[in-house]
Chains A and B, each alone.
Chain A
Amino acid sequence: MDPQLVILARGGDHDAFARLVAGSIGRLNAIARLILHDYALAEDAVQDAFVDAWRSLPGLRDPERFQAWLTRLLIRSCQDSRRRARRRTLEMPLPSIDGPNVADHQATFAVVDQIERGLNGLTIDQRTVLVLTYYLDLPIAEGASVLGIPTGTMKSRVHRALAALRATVDADERPMPTTAERTI
C-alpha cells in the first residue's frame, strides 16, 4: 500500500481513498466473511469499516500502518454486526477439501466439515480471535492490540474458543449411545 495514497486520502483526497479501497477490499472481504459467516453481513461490515476509515483518516498518524489500522476498524465493525437487527440466511460456500496433506481425502473432508460446523457454532467474538490468530497469523500481543484487550485476556479467549471448537469436533466423533444408555 502506497503511503503517499494514505497521506493524500488523509488530507481529503477522495480519489486517493478510492484507490486504497480497491487495493484492500478483497482482503477485508475475506476476513469479514470468515468472522461473520454471512456474506451480506460481511459486506455491510466492510462498508462500515471503510466509512469509518474515511472519517477517521485524519487521526492516522503513521501511514505505514494503514493496513493494520484498517483491519482493526473492520474487526470492530464485525463485532458490531451482532447488534444489527437484520438476520440473514447462512451463505458460506462449501468448504474446499484442499486442506492438510493427508492421504485419505474422504477423512479430510469429514474433518473439514467438522471444523466448519464447529466454527458455525462459535460466537462472533470467538471466531474473531481465531481468525486473528490462525488466519491473519497475528501474535497474541498484536491480536490483543487489535481488540483493545490485555494480552492475557486475548490468550484466554483464544484458549476458550479453541476449547469450544474442540468440544464440537469431539462431540461429532463420539459414538452414538446405545438404546440402554439413552434410556438412563
Chain B
Amino acid sequence: MTAHRDVELFLRAQFEATADPTVLDGQIDSVLSATAGRRQQPVWLAALRSYPMTTTARSFGRPLSTPALALLMILALLIAITAVGVTTGTFRLPPAPVVNGPIVFGRYSANLENTEIYLARPDGSGIHRVLAGAYECPQFSPDGKRLSVAFATMAADGSDRKPFPALAPGMTFGCSMWSPNGQQLATEAWSVSDPAVAGIFRVNADGSDPVRLTSNGNNGHDIPGDWSPDGQHIAFSRNTGNWSDLWVVDVADGATRRLVDGPVFGSGSWSPDGQWIAARVGRDFIMVHPDGTGYHAVRIPVTALNEPGEPSFSPDGTRLVFNMKPLGSDNADVYTMKIDGTDLVQITNTPNDNEYFVDWGIDPN
C-alpha cells in the first residue's frame, strides 16, 4: 500500500468488514434490568453538552484628562498633581469607558476544508474576511490591535503574522488566550505520541518561554478560557473522557480547583468586572462567581433555535456573544444578547455556512 489515499479506502472497507452488531445473550435483559428501577431525570437536568474553547478580550482604560483651553497653567498644575497622585497611588482616576469593537469569528470554508477568519461590527454590519488561510480560534488582544490564532499572533487586519516557536519535540500548541496586560498567553498544548503531557502552558506573547500551568492527567485536554481581570487566575475546561468540567488555575503556583462539575460547554468567559464566569450547560448559559457561589442560568430568549455555543462577554460586560444552530442544521450563526437573556441580536445570517470561534474585541480607537 503505497498511496496514502488507499489507507482511507481500506479503512472504510475494514470497518464495514469487522463491524459486529451481534447482540449477546442476555445483553438486552441486562440493559432493561439496569434501567427498570431508575427514575428519569427532570427535564431541566436532562441536557446534553460538549467542550470547545473561547474567551473574551477585554481592556482596562487608561486615565484620561480633558484639557481646558482657559486656565492653562492651572490645568497643567492639576495634571501634574493628578499624575503624581496616580503614580504614588494616593488617589485613582476612573477608567475611560470601554467601547465594544468588532466581533471576530471563524467560518468554515468548504474549499479550504478549514476555518477562515471574519470580522463584523457589533450591529452585524461590515462583515468581511480578514484571513483567507486556515486559522483557528481567533482571540482579540486586550487593546484590540492583535489576534491570537492557533500557533501564532497577528495584527487584527491579518498582517504581521508571528508564528510560535516549537514548544518541545513532538508537542503542539492549540488555542491561546491573552493575559490582561497583553504580554502573555495561556495556550493549550498536547503531544500526539504522548497524551499524558497535555496541559495548559503560559507563554510570552511571541510563544517563547513556556511554563506549564496544568496537566490533564487523564489523557484528555485542558483548554484555557479567560484570564481573570487581575491576571491571577485562568478559567479552563478539563476533559476527563465523558465530559468537561469548569476549572480555575492559579497562575502563580498552578493550583487548580473545580468550579462547576460537568457537563459544561465552554472554557469559561470571565466578566470584565471579575465578578462572573460564564459557560453553557445544556441549552442555557450559566454564570457563577469565581468562588463557586451564585450559580444561575441565563435562558436564551428563543424557542425555535437550539444548540448555542459557548458564550463570551463583550468588552463592556453588558452583553454576551455566541454562535447558535437552527434546529436540524449544522450551520451556526453569530448572535449577541444582554447578560440577562434579553435583546437577542443576530449578527450573521448565513444558512449555508457554519460560524464558530466567536470573540468580541475592544474598539482600539
Binding site for B on A (CB under 8 A): 12, 14, 17-18, 21-22, 25-27, 29-31, 33-34, 43, 46-47, 50-51, 54-62, 69, 72, 76-77, 79-80, 82-83, 92-93, 95-100, 111-112, 114-116, 119, 123, 125, 130-131, 134-135, 139-142, 145, 147-153, 155, 160, 162-166, 169, 173
Contacts and interface: CB of A to CB of B under 8 A. Distances in A.
Secondary structure of the A side of the interface? helix
B19 A58 contact: no
B280 to A, nearest CB: 10
Contacts of A139: 330
Interface stretch (B31-39, B124-132, B246-254): B31-39
Interface of B: 1-2, 4, 6-24, 27-28, 30-32, 34-36, 38-43, 45-53, 106, 108, 113-115, 134, 136-137, 192, 195, 218-219, 240-244, 265, 282, 306-307, 327-328, 330-331, 354, 356-357
Contact of A100 (B13, B27, B354): B13
Given A148-B50, A155-B113, A26 B17 contact: no
Task: Tell me if B's interface is mostly helix, strand, loop or mixed.
Answer: loop
B9 A14 contact: no
A134 B40 contact: no
B258 to A, nearest CB: 16
B357 A14 contact: no
A57 B7 CA distance: 38
B108 A169 contact: no
Nearest to B36: A14
Nearest to A59: B46
A147 B22 CA distance: 25
B22 A26 contact: yes
Nearest to A96: B17
Contacts of B48: 56, 59, 69, 72
B321 to A, nearest CB: 16
A25 B20 contact: no
A30 B114 contact: no
B242 A77 contact: yes
B219 A123 contact: yes
B195 to A, nearest CB: 6
